[in-house]
A and B are shown apart, each in its own frame.
Chain A
């Protein structure tokens, strides 16, 4: 087990390294001059050249990459020879000259918002999706099953920006049930936090719940036909025990994989929900940076999201070994 984790972590590091190379060079090949974006309308050719030097964009790409990776481990200093050098402590993902802030501090400020958004939605969609899925499976072919499937289809096909805008329009603007969303930390003002988050949670959860409902339903239906479920019935167990203890236990295992990866993906930022509800999370940060071609932020966010998914993969694999005794991690 320990050897397995060790090997997986090594693999993870290799993967992240390769990813950083890919991300860095791909983004550097994009058209557009990053130095041009540092000064807006006030730009003069001299200023652009000066900024290019301060940012290090005058150097060969390989050197730039070396500085970038060095910054992550040891920190780095921008515009070292100017009167006001910018010191970026390790782990330094770069410095955004459009926002005049370190990428790392931008991310740490936005991350909690996205974290609460993702975790809240995750809990809602798992609860709703799995229970509806089980419900539909147990009433397969009857009207309850069809109704649930229908609802899921609607939820699945509605784009989240549509649901988001509709909810926002009616709940906030027309009916004035909630105030205009403005993010506060749950530790500061829990009531306001919940009032802000409830709509984005619902928007995110609808899409995922619809997907998990179908997934759960199919899983349970498949498992209910398995031989060991018949054995459980042959033992004379009450139907409830047969379904919960024998069928679900086996049927829900694959859902763990899905759930882990989906949560990780969402932790990297929920672009649409955050934008509609004005949440200053990673998704909003990403959209803003992309429109401004703020390369350091985009690179940093991409690496962060990728790392989250790689870590989630490992966690899911470890969880699998806990859930299913047949899985041996070697």
Chain B
């Protein structure tokens, strides 16, 4: 069968990162003051690799994604820093320029597939619209592509489903349609903002698997945003943990699960229910994330951190920690000395940790792509 142009996979091995974000800052002026949503985020993703950004609600992870896509309203928000996509800088680029990249070189899927598809248009029309926005193809060809994409995301009877309205599909099917729509122009970057949060647990694993499988087919760079560390264990190559608009820990997935260092990451991992442990009590992180209107002095996590006494001179309360390399390709933003951090991790997560393996099995369901490799770029 002839493959439509858009579905031809770009097999070129990309040397450098496809997306690289440096010192990204997003501020929203509001009636109550300036909302500091993102405060200097750095990361990069290569084609074929997956970066997971993990954090609580309000940690700035979604705003980071929207800022990359140019979907933050520039009239109401102040975006600074640099976003490089395939050699083009996006922050300074005019709206019309970014628009041509959106849905074309970079695409995004959203949290709630129930409300993310237009209720008045047929699924096929919404898919072909995405194709025809960026490529000069006939309506008929676009429709054929839509059907082809629907079948590739695992929708049964795509030739019939293409004429359905979104409300006729289940949540999981709608998210598949969103994925099909995002990938119809074979973007080299896919950002998935909590793609499974609104779905049934049984469907979550399927969607994550699908993203992983399509990623290897299309050789896409994937940024997956989630608050669920369990979900990303299978699919992500690297994990960046965000807290209060900053990355607080960044490492390869293996490394992060095996030997987390930042107390916040420890807290996240300890909040995941585990079947292989004696204790039957979960250990949540106490308190709430700080208001983005006023971040605390010192380390932004200090009001919720149990280990501030391990640092001399009240540094946690007064000095902003830097994101520093703890080991090769393992970045941590914490004042506690590295040795001490590892001791704490061992005591919290159990001897020898090995949490990674346990969580990976408890997570997305086991049929994901090959074991995560690689480290932060």
Which residue numbers of A lie inside 8 Å of B, CB to CB?
226-228, 230-239, 246, 249-250, 323-326
Contact = CB atoms under 8 A, between A and B. Distances in A.
A43 B100 CA distance: 85
Given A226-B115, A231-B118, A325 B103 contact: no
Nearest to B178: A231
Interface stretch (B104-112, B208-216, B360-368): B104-112
A246 B71 contact: no
Given A236-B99, A236-B134, A326-B165, A246 B116 contact: no
B144 interface: no
Contact of B119 (A228, A233, A235, A239): A228
B71 A325 contact: no
Given A235-B103, A236-B100, A236-B102, A325 B167 contact: yes
Contacts of B100: 236
A324 B102 contact: no
Interface string B125-137: 0000110011000
A261 B104 CA distance: 44
B102 A246 contact: no
Contact of B102 (A228, A235, A326): A235
Contacts of B102: 233-236
Contact of B69 (A228, A234, A239, A246): A234
B33 to A, nearest CB: 18
A233 B178 CA distance: 13
Instruction: Give the top 8 A-B pairs by smallest Cβ distance, nearest first.
Output: A236-B103, A236-B102, A227-B115, A235-B103, A228-B118, A325-B165, A227-B116, A235-B130
The residue among B100, B133, B134 with the most chain A CB atoms within 10 A of its own CB is: B133
Given A226-B115, A227-B112, A325-B165, A234 B103 contact: yes
A234 B112 contact: no
Nearest to B184: A235
Contacts of A236: 99-104, 130, 133-134
B151 to A, nearest CB: 20
A236 B107 CA distance: 9
Interface in B82-101: 95, 99-101
A231 B119 CA distance: 12
Contacts of B119: 228, 250, 324-326
Contacts of A324: 119-120
Contact of A323 (B95, B120, B134): B120
B117 interface: yes
Given A230-B110, A231-B118, A233-B102, 11 more contacts: A226-B115, A228-B117, A230-B116, A235-B102, A236-B104, A239-B95, A250-B118, A323-B120, A325-B120, A325-B167, A326-B165
A246 B107 CA distance: 18
B71 A230 contact: yes
B189 interface: no
Contacts of B222: none
Contact of A231 (B101, B116, B120, B133): B116
Contacts of A233: 71, 102
A315 B181 CA distance: 36
A64 B242 CA distance: 81
Contacts of A237: 99, 103, 129, 133
Contacts of B165: 325-326
A233 B102 CA distance: 8
B133 A235 contact: yes
The residue among A232, A246, A324 with the most chain B CB atoms within 10 A of its own CB is: A232
A234 B118 contact: no
B312 to A, nearest CB: 47
Interface in B122-155: 129-130, 133-134
A234 B105 CA distance: 11
A232 B118 contact: yes
A318 B281 CA distance: 56
A238 B116 contact: no
B166 to A, nearest CB: 9
Nearest to B105: A236
Contacts of A323: 120
Contacts of B95: 239
Contacts of B134: 236
Contacts of B167: 325-326
A233 B101 CA distance: 11
Given A234-B107, A234-B108, A228 B181 contact: no
6 contacts: A228-B115, A228-B119, A236-B134, A249-B120, A323-B120, A324-B120
A51 B101 CA distance: 85
A145 to B, nearest CB: 13
The residue among A232, A234, A239, A326 with the most chain B CB atoms within 10 A of its own CB is: A234
A325 B120 CA distance: 6
Contact of B110 (A227, A239, A246): A227
B108 A246 contact: no
A298 to B, nearest CB: 44
A233 B99 CA distance: 8
A227 B109 CA distance: 11
A320 to B, nearest CB: 12
A246 B116 CA distance: 12
Nearest to B114: A227
A250 B165 CA distance: 14
A321 to B, nearest CB: 12
Interface in B19-71: 69, 71
B343 to A, nearest CB: 45
Contacts of A231: 110, 116-118, 178, 181
A326 B118 CA distance: 11
Nearest to B164: A325
Contacts of B133: 235-237
Nearest to B168: A325
B101 A250 contact: no
Nearest to A253: B120
Interface string B164-197: 0101000000000010011000000000000000
B85 to A, nearest CB: 13
A325 B168 CA distance: 10
Contacts of B103: 234-237
Contacts of B69: 234
Contacts of B99: 236-239
Contacts of A326: 119, 165, 167
